[in-house]
Chain A
Amino acid sequence: MRTELPVLKAADFASDQDVRWCPGCGDYAILAQMKKMLPSLGVPRENTVFISGIGCSSRFPYYMNTYGIHSIHGRAPAFATGLKVSRPDLMVWVITGDGDGLSIGGNHLMHAIRRNLDINIILFNNRIYGLTKGQYSPTSPLGKKTKTSPMGAIDNPLHPLSIAIGCEGTFVARSIDTHIKHLEVVLRRAAEHRGTSFVEVYQNCNVFNDGAWAYVNGRQTKADNTIELEHGAPLIFGTDRQRGIRLNGLVPEIVELGGEITERDLLVHDERAAEPSLAYLLSRLRHEDGFPEPIGVFRAVDSPRYDEELNAQLDAARADRGDGNLSDLLNSGETWTVS
């Protein structure tokens, strides 16, 4: 007999806990899109686990009616590793932030991505420490004045996607808290990818770093300052879609379409390129250098997954040597008998 799975709605993924983020926080939008997207995957709630570290974003699991761990600062990918390899049947999400994931937890993020476990990592990037009330983060721009950088930050900022690609990431994407439709699509793509999905979400902290992403959010500026990536399509942007990105040797440049320059001259996005250099180049396009910042899927390639490989080794060992027998083990090697 076949039992129909109940059709779940966004509300089914809401836990009974009050959400305690500041009013107006970008985290609400991400939570809403996650709850909206999850039912479409058809994965039962009980087979879904959210794991987070410490920080504002890391309260996320408490608000999901799934299994979850609110762990310790920066280490969520390591918890996810132990869980996923021993329970490959579960869908595992890691929720982290720019401080949690890139500062205290940078090492774990790097290794989770290079192992390519089949997990989804969502990094909420608000370019500030929110829960500790406003210190600069690893993604704060140079010169950023905060409580711990009163004369301006002098640490070179990290670019999350460049790191993910450098760590051999197989799925690397970016979205924005306020672009809710785009965000939902990117989250779904992340969930559907087999391997580690790494998604950076530009998220506004309206209390300690309000407007950090204003240039991609403003109705007037959005089209000029972002570029939506589409596999196989040329990189075109601008209010009138009249500008594009062209490669001059290894250097990207902005060109005006029309006249001698046509779409054929533009860089064409290939998210499936085996070689990650193009994706890396796109991850380097920064607003402060005058470029639109790409959003969407930078890279989506298939590669062996650590959890599957590890469990395949178990299967191979059993096929080769039979199921382990404890008595045989203890009596193996050189023994002697006293009567």
Chain B
Amino acid sequence: MAVATEAPLTSSKETIVLEGATVRFAGDSGDGMQVVGGQFTNTSALHGNDVATFPDFPAEIRAPRGTLAGVSGFQVQFASSDIFTPGDTLNALVAMNPAALVTNIADLEKGGILIVNSESFEPKDLKLARLDTNPLDNGSLDDYRLILVRLDTLNRNAVKDVEGLSSKLQDRCKNFFALGLIYWLFGRDLSATLRFVHAKFGSKPEVEAANERSLRAGWYYGETTEAFVHNYQVEPAQLAPGTYRNIMGNQALAWGLIAAAKLSGKELYCGSYPITPASPILEELSAFKHFGVRTVQAEDEIAAMCSVIGAAFGGAMAITSSSGPGIALKGEAMGLGMILELPMLIINIQRGGPSTGLPTKTEQSDLLQVMFGRNGESPLPVIATRSPSDCFEVALEAWRLATRFMTPVILLSDGYIANGSEPWLIPDVDALPRIPVSHPGPSTTDEPFLPYQRDERLARPWALPGTAGLMHRLGGLEKEDITGNVSYDPDNHQHMTNVRAERVAQIADDIPPQAVNGPSRGKLLVLSWGGTYGTCTTAVQRCLAEGMSVAHAHLRYLNPFPKNLGEVLAGYDQILLPELNMGQLRMLVQARYLREVVGLNKVQGKPFTVSEVVFAITKLVG
């Protein structure tokens, strides 16, 4: 293919080198902003930048065109140094229409580059965005470097010679014109996107040709327009040696599950019901049948969970992926999984709640749900991933714990991690630790099999149907210790309850101690979990650089906590716990360690900005 080998285009204008930049593409849901955002991310990652992304889109697939409700955005931070967040403020914003301008302009830095499609500011467009006057000529954008692009006309001219292309399809390419312009602005190579266009539209030559022309036309427009006197360059980041790829959270999680199955010699079973933002896991796994992955799109969340228990009973590596509302439905079956003491994974990609809440927005408000959302005394291990690439490792760790301790394990992610992406140092498969799993072999004696006879880790044997002599019945009724027979004996119920609690609690002996970034004693510890990792890391780094007495501990293990967590907390005068809920981990930490914890809490469907966390730290120790 010709496009892959051509020399990269280079600008003749002066280039200014930046350490990093944050760009957001914003437009209508149907404008293809997620596609161009993804392309810009991929190209920047291939360029060697560190990248972090924040796709933000409405729950409606196509809200009424041009309205505020229909605005879809994709934010990318790319840098020549390590970064952990998609950035607080934008250096450049592409706004495809007035609604996109209105909803995003507050995040653009003063003096930032604002590229707008000037042809989408007709009176009807302004009305849809509920604007009384045209912001392009009322002075409200004077603080920004406003670049007016006649995007519709320029794009139509670029593709008008493509044969067989309807005017509707002509206009649909204009996102690639905008992308081409941004590629010029930051000196990016077009080739990866040209390969993407070929792969995606190769079967429709006119669409492929049109998108390619739009992309190139956007680049040339940047080069020729007098609106730009120079462009920018962000050099590759100094990442650890190795082979990298860009990876999204849900994709990394799905691949981690596939890897965990391989490493434990199991075949993967996924029983799930589609739900935002977890569906991509079921979709991704459905494509890996040649890895022996079986996926069942169940009739509902309950069936998904129950089918997972059935598959686990049969010896599969069984998992279900869902989000808060689905986890609520699964609760009863999760309790059964707990009392059956079978290994399985329950994945919750958290979203804004309660009830249907904010399906496409991020939140961390299901922690107490997964801790306590089952009837009776029903403890389960809970671990949380912190970033898109971390999902891979956490999937392996969750399955290791599940099989080692014969228990369902809950894995928490969130919409921000799930849809975000970052460069990932691809691990050497041969160096990944195996996950040992064993099953008792056939028995020829007449002695009854004892399904609740435990080993030193209090784990019971995973005896599989098909094994002669080990026939046994499991059920949700309380069972007698050792034999597993139904038992209503009061002392036995107490004993079994104690053992089930102890079995989860002693996982603390098997996990690494809690690490701290920064001094081990001081005025303030920032304690965090889940998707706030990047923001808290960046905020604490900034405050440490300012000389503040602050450190950062990020929890992966939420139940049980690492054994040394109490000691860690004791090293600081105060503890600040930022979380995207109203104080759920704070409640658990305070109850467990009897330490007062200061909360930084927000439920606005958006991640914290670094400056919000810096501000909270400064208020306590600045």
Show the binding face of A for B, using Cβ within 8 Å.
15-17, 44-47, 49-51, 54, 61-62, 64-72, 75, 77-87, 89-90, 107-108, 110-111, 310-311, 313-314, 316-318, 320-324, 326-327, 329-331, 333-339
Contacts and interface: CB of A to CB of B under 8 A. Distances in A.
A82 B310 contact: yes
A336 B45 contact: yes
B294 A86 contact: yes
A61 B475 contact: yes
Given A67-B465, A329-B258, A79 B307 contact: yes
Contact of B313 (A75, A83, A89): A83
B382 interface: no
A46 B467 contact: yes
Tell which of B299, B308, B430 has the most Cβ of chain A within 10 Å.
Answer: B299
Contacts of A17: 485-486
B474 A69 contact: yes
Contacts of A317: 289-290
Contact of B466 (A47, A65, A85, A326): A47
Contacts of B314: 82-83, 86-87, 90
B294 A326 contact: no
Contacts of A338: 48, 236, 239-244
B71 interface: no
A62 B426 contact: no
Given A46-B470, A67-B472, A78-B302, A334 B246 contact: yes
A323 B290 contact: yes
Contacts of B298: 78, 81, 111
Given A45-B471, A89-B466, A81 B244 contact: no
B296 interface: yes
Contact of B48 (A61, A71, A85, A336): A336
Interface of B: 42, 45-46, 48, 192, 195, 236, 239-246, 255, 258-259, 262, 267, 269, 271, 288-294, 296, 298-300, 302-316, 318, 332-333, 336, 340, 426-427, 429-430, 442, 448, 465-477, 485-486
Contact of B336 (A61, A72, A84, A333): A72
A85 B269 contact: yes
Given A78-B306, A108-B303, A49 B465 contact: yes
Contacts of B426: 330-331, 335
Contacts of A310: 294, 296
A69 B303 contact: no
A70 B475 contact: yes
A166 to B, nearest CB: 15
Contacts of B340: 69
Contacts of A84: 310
Given A69-B474, A82-B296, A87-B314, 16 more contacts: A45-B471, A46-B471, A49-B465, A69-B473, A79-B310, A82-B311, A83-B310, A86-B314, A87-B315, A111-B298, A311-B294, A318-B290, A334-B246, A336-B45, A338-B240, A338-B241
Contacts of A326: 258-259, 262, 291, 429
Contacts of A316: 289
A89 B467 CA distance: 12
A329 B244 contact: no
Given A46-B465, A46-B466, A330-B427, A82 B318 contact: yes
A324 B258 contact: yes
Contact of B243 (A50, A69, A335): A335
Contacts of A311: 294
Given A329-B255, A338-B239, A46 B469 contact: yes
15 contacts: A17-B485, A46-B468, A46-B471, A67-B472, A71-B309, A80-B310, A82-B271, A82-B314, A86-B310, A90-B314, A310-B296, A316-B289, A326-B291, A335-B243, A336-B48
B294 A67 contact: no
Given A75-B303, A85-B294, A86-B314, A334 B466 contact: no
Given A45-B471, A75-B303, A321 B290 contact: yes
B292 A68 contact: no
A62 B307 contact: no
A62 B316 contact: no
B281 to A, nearest CB: 15
B405 to A, nearest CB: 21
A54 to B, nearest CB: 8
A338 B308 CA distance: 41
A69 B475 contact: yes
A46 to B, nearest CB: 5
Contact of A75 (B269, B306, B465): B306
A336 B465 contact: no
Contacts, number: 213
Given A85-B311, A330-B255, A108 B269 contact: no
A330 B306 contact: no
B290 A71 contact: no
B292 A67 contact: no
Nearest to B42: A334
A330 B465 CA distance: 34
Tell which of B46, B293, B302 has the most Cβ of chain A within 10 Å.
Answer: B302
A44 B467 CA distance: 10
A316 B292 CA distance: 11
Contacts of B474: 68-70
A310 B259 CA distance: 21
Tell which of B309, B310, B336, B465 has the most Cβ of chain A within 10 Å.
Answer: B310
B477 to A, nearest CB: 7
Contacts of B236: 338
A337 B243 contact: yes
B299 A334 contact: no
Nearest to B43: A334
A107 B311 contact: no
Contacts of A111: 298-299, 303
B310 A81 contact: yes
A333 B251 CA distance: 13
Nearest to B470: A46
Contacts of B471: 45-46, 65-67
B46 A334 contact: yes
Nearest to B268: A86
Contacts of B430: 327
B309 A79 contact: yes
Contacts of A318: 289-290, 292
B307 A78 contact: yes
A321 B239 CA distance: 33
A110 B476 CA distance: 24
A114 B175 CA distance: 44
Contacts of A85: 269, 294, 296, 307, 311
A327 B255 CA distance: 11
Contacts of A89: 466
B233 to A, nearest CB: 17
A83 to B, nearest CB: 4
A72 B332 contact: yes
A59 to B, nearest CB: 9
B472 A314 contact: no
A44 B336 CA distance: 27
A317 B289 CA distance: 6
Contacts of A334: 42, 45-46, 192, 195, 245-246
Contacts of A336: 45-46, 48, 243-245
A281 to B, nearest CB: 28
Contacts of B259: 326, 330
A72 B476 CA distance: 7
Contacts of A47: 465-466
B448 A320 contact: no
B296 A81 contact: yes
Contacts of B475: 61-62, 68-71
Contacts of A71: 306, 309, 336, 475-476
B315 to A, nearest CB: 7
A156 B437 CA distance: 51
Contacts of B472: 67-68
A82 B308 contact: yes
A15 B484 CA distance: 13
